[in-house]
């Protein structure tokens, strides 16, 4: 979406999440930066950047609660833990990013390159590892209200009733993953396809097999696909089937990087995505294609995304 990126690359590939949900505007980011500097003890100095560079990283990322935050309630907060943390992300500054990404996609003002993107089945589990679990429906509803506010929380609870899951914690983890990453992929894929890009979408469904993480029940969590794409876990850690899955993903990724189309050889055909034919490739020990993946839930989240503008 950045005009300055034109001609710098021939393909685009994004793992775990889309890019068409709301970003802060420049004025919002600047106002928050002032509050952040004050919270870090750097608000009264003329050399704010120098002062912030001296702040320990742990304080910058993890020890800066928003005023009035509840300390570490069950279930934590969306992505970040019990206390809302500062978020560092791209800003619609009018220069590098001229407008909201969804607007630029809808206007076709994006790099004209093939786009491959996707997410994992259990994106949300990782973001709750260090937090106390919600054990009751009441704690689940409280966690939703802290994240979304009363009105949207009620809508989320209706879309994700506890009775649809094995536990309130499972429900909360699914909300985290779908709302933040899984369904933002679909939102972006639809807009990219409408802008005329060749779009390929995946879902990664293989539980992470690293023995040291076995007790955490992360399943196919955020980042689980990275070891497969880059071949960074060897045969001394994972089984032959997982090594084969990694080799398969590397073939798809490599062909996409080379030609703009992940298809080739004897591998299962990866259908191109369109809004009318929501098809994606599902990566597991046995590959498959899936259609309309969580489409009803993603339609709900898209209405939430719309309300943020």
Strand order in the sheet with 199-204: 12-15, 115-120, 199-204, 279-283, 288-291
Could you tell me the pLDDT band of residue 161, with boundaries at 50, 70 and 90? Answer: very high
Q: Which long-range contacts (CB under 8 A, 24 or more apart) does 302-307 make?
A: 302/183, 302/186, 302/187, 304/152, 304/155, 304/156, 304/179, 305/20, 305/21, 305/22, 305/184, 305/187, 307/152
pTM value is 0.90
- Predicted pLDDT at 132: 86
> And the tokens for 303?
């209405």
pLDDT for the residue numbered 212:
78
pLDDT at 89: 83
Across 36-57, average pLDDT? 91
The string of pLDDT tens digits covering residues 163-209 is 999 999 999 999 999 999 999 999 999 999 999 999 999 999 999 87
Which segments of 74-196 are extended strands (E)?
91-92, 115-120
User: Which of the four pLDDT bands, split at 50, 70 and 90, describes residue 65?
Assistant: very low
- Kindly report, residue by residue over 270-303, the tens digit of the pLDDT: 999 998 989 999 999 999 999 999 999 999 999 9
Dump pLDDT digits (tens) for 83-127: 345 667 899 999 999 999 999 999 999 999 999 999 999 999 999
| φ, ψ of residue 192 in degrees (nearest 5) | -65, -40
Residue with the two structure tokens 């094995």: 166
Q: What is the pLDDT of residue 66?
A: 43
Averaged over 47-71, what is the pLDDT?
72
């Amino acid at each position: 979406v950045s005009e300055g990126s034109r001609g710098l690359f021939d393909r685009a590939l994004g793992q775990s999440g889309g890019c068409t949900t709301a970003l802060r505007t420049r004025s919002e980011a600047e106002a928050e930066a002032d509050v952040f500097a004050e919270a870090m003890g750097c608000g009264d100095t003329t050399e704010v950047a120098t002062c912030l560079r001296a702040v320990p990283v742990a304080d910058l990322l993890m020890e800066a609660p928003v005023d009035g935050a509840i300390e570490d309630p069950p279930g934590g907060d969306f992505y970040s833990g019990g206390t809302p943390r500062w978020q560092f992300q791209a800003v619609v500054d009018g220069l590098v990013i001229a407008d909201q990404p969804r607007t630029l996609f809808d206007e076709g003002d994006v790099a004209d390159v093939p786009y491959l993107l996707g997410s994992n089945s259990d994106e949300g589990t990782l973001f709750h590892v260090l937090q106390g679990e919600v054990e009751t429906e009441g704690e689940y509803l409280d966690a939703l209200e802290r994240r979304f506010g009363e009105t949207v929380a009620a809508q989320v609870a209706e879309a994700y009733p506890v009775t649809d899951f094995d536990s309130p914690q499972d429900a909360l983890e699914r909300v985290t993953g779908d709302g933040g990453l899984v369904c933002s992929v679909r939102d972006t894929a639809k807009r990219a396809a409408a802008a005329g890009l060749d779009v390929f979408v995946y879902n990664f469904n293989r539980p992470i097999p690293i023995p040291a993480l076995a007790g955490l029940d992360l399943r196919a969590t955020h980042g689980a696909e990275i070891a497969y794409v880059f071949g960074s876990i060897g045969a001394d850690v994972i089984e032959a089937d997982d090594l084969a899955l990694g080799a398969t993903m590397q073939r798809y990724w490599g062909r996409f990087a080379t030609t703009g189309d992940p298809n080739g050889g004897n591998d299962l055909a990866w259908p191109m995505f369109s809004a009318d034919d929501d098809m994606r490739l599902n990566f597991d020990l046995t590959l498959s294609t899936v259609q309309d993946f969580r489409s009803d839930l993603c339609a709900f989240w898209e209405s939430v995304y719309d309300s943020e503008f």
